[in-house]
Amino acid sequence: MFEQHVGAYWLALLLVRGIPPILHDCVVEEVHLQTEHLGWHTDDFLIVGETGSSDRRRLAGQVKRKLTVSAKDNEFKKAMQDLWKDFNGCQQFSLSTDRFALVTLRGTNTLLEHFSGLLDCARIARDGADFERLLTTPGFLNAKAVHYCREIQTIIGEAEGRSVCVAQVWPFLRVLHVLSLDLNSATGQTEAMIMTLLAHTAAHEDPLNAAKTSWNALLHEVGEAMPAARSYRRDDLPEVLRQRHSPLGTTEQRALQALSAHSAPILDGIRSTIGRDIHLDRERLVLSVIQQLESTQVVMVSGPAGSGKSSIAKDAINILSADHFAFSFRAEEFAEPHLDRMLQLSQIPCNASALGAILAGQGRKVLLVESVERLLEASTRDAFADLLTLINSDKSWRLLLTCRDYSSDLVRTAFLQGAGVDYYIAAVPPLDDGELEEVKEAYPTLSRPLADVALRRLLRNPYILDKALQISWSEGRPLPQREREFRAVFWEQIVRVEHRVGRAMPRRRDAAFTQIALRRARTLALYAPCSGLDEEAVETLRNDSLIVFSPHSDVLVAPAHDVLEDWALLQWIDEQHAIHEDSIQEFSKAIGTHPAVRRMYRKWVSELVEQDAKAADRMFRTVMDDVELPTYFQDDTLVSILRSSSSAEFLEKHSSELLMNDKQLLRRVIHLLRVACVTTHSRLDKTTAHALLITAPDGPAWVSVLRLVQAHLPSFAQEDRTLLLGLIEDWARGVSWKPPYPEGAESVAAIAHWLLEGFDDYWSDEERKQTLEVIAKIPKADPERFAALLQGGLDDRKEDRLARDFRAIIFEGLEGMPVGRDMPELVVSALNDYLLCSASELQREYGYLSRPTLELLFGIKPQRSFGFFPASAYRGPFLSLLRHHPRQGLDLIISILNHSADWYAHPRVRSDCVEPPFEIALTFADGTSRTQWCNARLWNLYRGTSVGPYVLQSLLMALELWLLEFAKAYPDALDAMLLQILKRSDSVALTAVVASVATGFPHSSGETLLALLRSPVCILLDRSRRANEPQVPSRMLALMPRVNVEDEVYEQEREEADARPHRHQDLETAIISVQFGPLASRVHETLDRHRADMPPVGEQDENDRVWRLAIHRMDLRQYTIAEEATEADVVPGIQVSPADGRQYVHLDPREPEP
């Protein structure tokens, strides 16, 4: 059915003379189905396209709904060998014009992310040797993609009867494409786009209905054509279809030509060389962008001004445009109320809907939007929102954005986060030493500046490095050490050209260039009018490539690069400050309200703080003392100071001013600190549309403000507590495993404990809990007070409100991980008191209960009934304690489970409705044994499929997760660890966890499995557990409303746990696996002993027969090898990949005894 839909897809493009994917400079002229009779080995389809100059190009392809890239996969091997034969032997195939395609169902992520990445890498490489270099460069290409290349070499080598090197397969891979089509599936997006194309070309009153009718007719046509291996030109299609749909005409072609013409000057305006001809091949970055565009709809290339982000985007577009439509726009063009309006103003003769229809046949089309941060400064930007909506509705679109790093968070928040599209942030690093040396070898004049440590750091910016080539680096002149000093040299030598003193040209050039930058910044347009400017000066600037004119008008002009605009604005602000030095209000008016100018003003203030402390002091006092200044100007000044690298020293110097007037200025600083001095958390640099955008503190100002607040806590009033709570909560967002204690932790702890004094009442429950959560994140910031708070009122009769809330946060929620890591002794002591009920407490506290809770039956305090719902390995400090202090963590968990088993087996309360446990014995290889309390309730507790205290379920889940991590890290030590737990346990609740881990890692758990095999009860209980897997709680929790955000974390953890492959196996499966190793004879001995211990067949009851059948299933001697297995034969849930190098066989069990 999928192949039939693909055939209809090609016939639809033929019907409307549409543009085929890959051959995007053609229209479809012929479609051939089942082409073996035409001399092709690649025989599913052949598409013949015709270019505007009547040249012919061919696209030959195979259709595979699903592909496994492996030399062991016969279907893939045949497809690749057929492609190789046509590549080398088919007289009809032209390497320069023709292409191959593997058509697969969209959603095959491995192909999209790795195999397509390999093909893109081949297209990036200059030749075979370069391709081999890229493949062997560590970290350049995903290891899976490199493995796929080896597999293809193996396949082609078999066809050739000799080994084939990477360089030999390179030209073949360059012309091979993966075309992912969403046809005949639940989503059917490709089908929907083809329907749009058919509707666009339909000459009918109801175009949508006509499109549906035509699509069904095409499916029927293909169904008859494929067995007959038919060939089609448009005239061969049914007449009714040709009458119903007209071919795409000149209007559509003009639209595409207009888009290409519009894109060309934007790409041409991106400088991608240093000097005249040095193009740094930042291949790793370019390939990373292209690979991300395979699987992510929006990729944002982010970096500082001049870092080369536009050059990387341009290189990616140039590579992609060889086989895909790729268009380019400047961000300012989207400052319109509608996308159609933007297209109209760009002189594109179609609207967004028509454009989607014209490009409906394309598997991928790419749109570059340059300098998207400029759109943040626009008051109208609905056209960009329309673009994101279009991209979200058509998954074949890819959007490539460039953005300055300081605006990337705002772009995510303002645009991407709410649009529902997946996105990826590609950060552009500075030039490395190798790249700098490459430039130095080409331009020896840079040897002197590159030898200076401070200047070399500045020259790692590609744009600044390029401009450094235009500067004279004479020996007698000191080298600039900062960007400000470099700008001054550049301005003197390149902009003003001081040595051309005739006719006051330096001053005239300066004035003209500054006005051009200022006008463009204020108008937020691609170009600004140059009317009224010094024409001669403007012409000299043009001749020196400092400015560029609009291709549509010789009166519209712009700086040649955004960096030049920034530098001109900074120079202008310097001049305005000098002019209005005695009037801060006039200076403020000169700066104005234009966002681009205000942005440069903030940078100017930051530089002032770092380079001229006295001038910055005067500026600060003047701005803050003048109450008539606009609030935004004062805030811009404060934000600049707070974000500067010298902010800590500055704030300390001006602490007295901050505390004046009842700390009015300090409150303002705290507000701005929380808003402006934050960045996206480092763990979320690469994210998706469904992830939360979490900010973290950024900059040294945080520590200074926190210390200032701590030093003056007694002077704060009750109404300030909410503000200070917000301050420390925002700081706490920067706490993670790295760093666990960011600078300022001691101050935050002091502020938090002070805040608690004002939140100790029923009206402050929420604020109190928020404060306690901050304290919980940093236990060692003030360990004495932390311990006192956690231990306070351990007697439940006397527990105070603070201690009760704090222990619930630590022991029942996510915030227990830090204390489990840093204060294990305190955790163990407090947990025992918090969870376990003693005999004296039972009599004293709970004797009045008419109907004892299930928790009491297991020796758990009844107050802990629902705090651990839903159960999860992430609850409390248990997992953290196991990870960082495994001995203490194991001791705690074993003691709690042994305590609960004792209370369950010897009830202290009435338990009429709960079945009692029974005893089993585990026997070990050394002859020792351990008696444990057992029943199905205990065995299934760790899976949540039996009823029991949620706290015990969470404990067991944490133990299982840690043991699985331990098994991966220390496989040789796993068996001893599992045996230790079995020998110390009184409850099969722990034994069930051990059985789970041993099942997941049978070859590392041989002795453990033998011990479990000696207990028939364990084998049968785990068989029953496996049968109950479809009833795991995560399936039902997804249907229930969430009480809080944390529940989603717990549910996700359970879903991941439930998806582990060994869930679909049991101890029987593990015992079979062990028999493939050195313990086979001991397993057989144990099975024979079990078989011998059974009563005669005639005397066996139902339980005996069930056990006898289990013995038969576990005995590998009762199986025969039938054949080599296919992927479908493997146990469901196991991820099978031929890349793992294993060969699977199918085992047929013999008939068991009657």
Q: Are 1131 and 1106 in contact, with CB atoms under 8 Å apart? A: no
Distance CA 135, CA 133 (A): 5
Beta carbons of 992 and 1025 less than 8 angstroms apart: yes
Torsion of CA 150, 151, 154, 159, to 10 degrees: -130
Contacts of 343 (CB under 8 A, 6+ apart): 350, 351, 352, 355
* Residue 513: Cβ within 10 Å count: 28
Pairing outcome for strands 99-105 and 56-63: parallel
CB 80 within 8 A of CB 155: yes
- The values of phi and psi at residue 233, to 5°, are -110, 175
Secondary structure (H, E, C), 1032-1076:
CHHHHHCCCCCCCCHHHHHHHHHHHHHCCHHHHCCHHHHHHHHCC
pLDDT at site 251: 87
Residues of the chain predicted below pLDDT 70: 107-113, 681-693, 793-799, 846-851, 1037-1043, 1122-1145, 1154
Of 11, 3, 2, whose CA–CA distance to 215 is shortest?
A: 11
SS3 label, residue 671: helix
250-429 belongs to which CATH class? alpha beta
Question: Tell me, what DSSP letter sits at residue 235?
Answer: G
- Give the pairing type, strands 56-63 and 45-51: antiparallel
pTM: 0.83
Interatomic CA distance for residues 23 and 57, integer angstroms: 7
Written as one string, the DSSP assignment of 723-736 is: HHHHHHHHHHTT-S
As a whole number of angstroms, the distance between CA 826 and CA 834 comes to: 12
* Nearest-angstrom CA–CA distance, 270 and 287: 19
Q: Give the residue ranges of DSSP H helices in 677-764.
A: 701-711, 721-732, 745-756
Residue range(s) in the chain whose domain bears CATH number 3.40.50.300: 250-429
Helical axes 765-777 vs 745-756, angle rounded to 10°: 150
Question: Long-range CB contacts (< 8 A, 24+ apart) of 850-858?
Answer: 852/909, 852/910, 852/911, 854/914, 854/947, 854/948, 854/949, 855/949, 855/951, 856/903, 856/908, 856/909, 857/903, 857/904, 857/907, 857/909, 857/911, 857/914, 858/900, 858/903, 858/904, 858/948, 858/949, 858/952
What is the chain's alpha carbon radius of gyration, rounded to the nearest angstrom? 36
DSSP for 443-469 reads -GGGHHHHHSHHHHHHTTSHHHHHHHT
In 3D space, the residue among 749, 406, 854, 306 whose CA is nearest the CA of residue 606 turns out to be 406
Which residue type sits at 548? V
Question: Which distant-in-sequence residues (6+ apart) come within 8 Å of 442 by Cβ?
Answer: 275, 278
- β-pairing, 528-529 vs 556-559, is antiparallel
Sheet of 397-404, strands arranged across? 325-330, 365-370, 397-404, 298-303, 423-427
Cis status, amide bond into 818, omega within 30 of 0: no
Quick one: which H or E segment has residue 56? strand 56-63
Distance CA 846, CA 796 (A): 12
pLDDT at 1131: 45
Give every CB contact of residue 629 below 8 A, 6+ residues apart in sequence.
Answer: 584, 585, 588, 623
Q: Of all helices (H) and strands (E), which one includes residue 578?
A: helix 562-579
Residue with tokens 């297995």: 1125
DSSP state of 481: -
Q: What angle (nearest 5°) sits at the alpha carbon of residue 144, between those of residues 138 and 148?
A: 110
Tokens of 557: 């002009």
Q: How far is CA 308 from the centre of its chain?
A: 23
CB 1069 within 8 A of CB 1023: no
Q: Beta-carbon neighbour count of residue 831 at 10 Å?
A: 25
Write down how long the chain is. Answer: 1154
Please calculate the CA angle 1082-1083-1084 and round it to the nearest 5 degrees.
90
CA–CA distances in Å: residue 811 to residues 18, 799, 864, 867: 63, 16, 10, 9
Residue 1060 is predicted with a pLDDT of 94
Are the beta carbons of 988 and 1021 closer than 8 angstroms? yes
Q: Is there a contact between 867 and 813 (Cβ–Cβ < 8 Å)?
A: no
CA angle 439, 445, 448 (to 5 degrees): 95
The amino acid that residue 754 corresponds to is W
Instruction: Describe the chain by its helix, strand, coil percentages, rounded to 5.
Output: 60, 10, 30
Structure tokens at 620: 């600060």
Other CB atoms within 10 Å distance of the CB of residue 1037? 19
Q: Do 820 and 884 form a contact (C-beta atoms < 8 A)?
A: yes
Cα 555 to chain centroid, rounded: 45
Are 996 and 1025 within 8 A, CB to CB? Answer: no
Q: Report the alpha-carbon distance of residue 471 to residue 490 in Å, rounded.
A: 7
Q: pLDDT at position 839, please?
A: 87
Any idea what DSSP says for residue 113? I
Q: What is the DSSP letter of 57?
A: E
Backbone angles phi, psi at 590, to 5 degrees: -65, -40
Contact 43, 19 (CB under 8 A): no
Nearest to 227 by CA among 425, 498, 475, 33: 33
Angle between helices 1016-1027 and 1067-1074 (to 10 degrees): 120
Location of structure tokens 């320069």: 96
pLDDT tens digits for range 75-97: 999 999 999 999 998 788 999 99
pLDDT, position 1048: 86
Do 1010 and 921 touch, CB atoms closer than 8 A? no
Q: How far is CA 1047 from CA 871, 874, 949, 1054, in A?
A: 10, 11, 18, 11
Query: Tens digit of pLDDT for each residue in 595-640?
Result: 999 999 999 999 999 999 999 999 999 999 999 999 999 999 999 9
Q: Tell me, what's the pLDDT at 510?
A: 96
